[in-house]
Amino acid sequence: MTKQTAFYVAIFSTAALAVGWYFRGWKEASGGMITALNRAKALGKARDLFAGLTVLVAVVFAVVLYVVATRHR
């Protein structure tokens, strides 16, 4: 192998390593973004569930108070 061939092999292998390194970082970042989006969807569903339960408890509490107030005049 000549010096010039060794030089080109070193340049191309370094470029391949750099491309792999940056691709790995991009892939991790995109995976993190997908995880964050899925987590946001789950939090939205949990928020809706919590709001529904809160309204249900408030309505039941209001009905119980109304019944107690009308029976104990």
Instruction: Give the pLDDT confidence of 16-65 residue by residue, as tens digits.
Output: 888 888 887 777 777 778 888 888 888 888 888 888 889 999 999 988 88
How far, in whole angstroms, is CA 27 from its chain's centroid? 15
Domains of the chain: which residue ranges? 1-73
Alpha-carbon separation of residue 2 from 6, 7, 9 (angstroms): 6, 9, 11
Q: Whole-number mean pLDDT of the chain? A: 84
How far, in whole angstroms, is CA 34 from its chain's centroid? 6
